[in-house]
Amino acid sequence: MHLGFTQIRPLINRSALVAISPHLDDVALGCADLVAAYPRALVITVIAGRPGPHELTEWDARCGFGQGDDVMGARRLEDDAAIRHLGGRPLWLDFLDRQYAPERSSPDPGQIAEAVRPLLDDAGVVASPLGLGHPDHVAVAAACYELARSLPALDWIVYEDAIYRATRGESKKAVTRLKAEGFGLEPFDLAPTDLKRGAIASYASQVKGLGKLLRDADKAERYWTLGRGA
């Protein structure tokens, strides 16, 4: 099903949207047009913590940062500009990106769920990632599926992780797994807008690092409404 910018509302009974982003840019890449359809949507970025002193990572160098730069401070400023461009409100949690974490480990899904749960009190609908490719995305998605099961009164939408969805077969495998776990999924999509392109442009550092991979974000955003099984 292909929907335009203003046609998403009839799918949802209530209008307060909370969108959950693994990193500082993932909602803009994969869920921007849904966020833009709901004024004052709250965008929670789970993995936005500032690390202590550390060696410059390969990714941060690729994005134009130097040793000692406040990378996450700069990226939060980018995210603030992007989300406000979409008409939303950013909120950042302090979990560390695995590139900064001890033993390069992703956050624990149970701890993520515990941190996010109280932030959903005013939500009517929640959007969360399918959970593709990157271990941080997988961890955040696992936390969100746990929350979806335990909060059946909320409408829930899953968005496809842009960039990582470009790996052939990854989305299909994830959807098949979720159905086997008892979730019901009904697909729909939204066409990209100039508003989305403007939001992505706000992430100057990540645009530099992603390069040609950003072409995937120009394709239609793909979603599923999430039904909870037994």
**CA pair distance 157, 130, nearest whole angstrom:** 9
Could you tell me if residue 133 is left (phi over 0), alpha (psi between -120 and 50 degrees) or otherwise beta? left
Pairing of strands 221-227, 155-159: antiparallel
> Would you say 48 and 92 are in contact if contact means Cβ atoms under 8 Å apart?
yes
Phi and psi at residue 194, to the nearest 5° = -65, -30
Total count of residues recorded for the chain: 230
Q: Residue 186: enclosing H or E segment and its boundaries?
A: strand 184-190
Low-confidence ranges of the chain (pLDDT < 50): 2, 4-6, 13
- Check residue 122 and give its pLDDT: 87
> Would you say 142 and 131 are in contact if contact means Cβ atoms under 8 Å apart?
yes
- At 173 the three-state DSSP class reads helix
Phi and psi at residue 18, to the nearest 5° = -120, 120
In the chain, the domains with their CATH numbers are 15-227 (3.40.50.10320)
Q: What is the pTM of this model?
A: 0.92
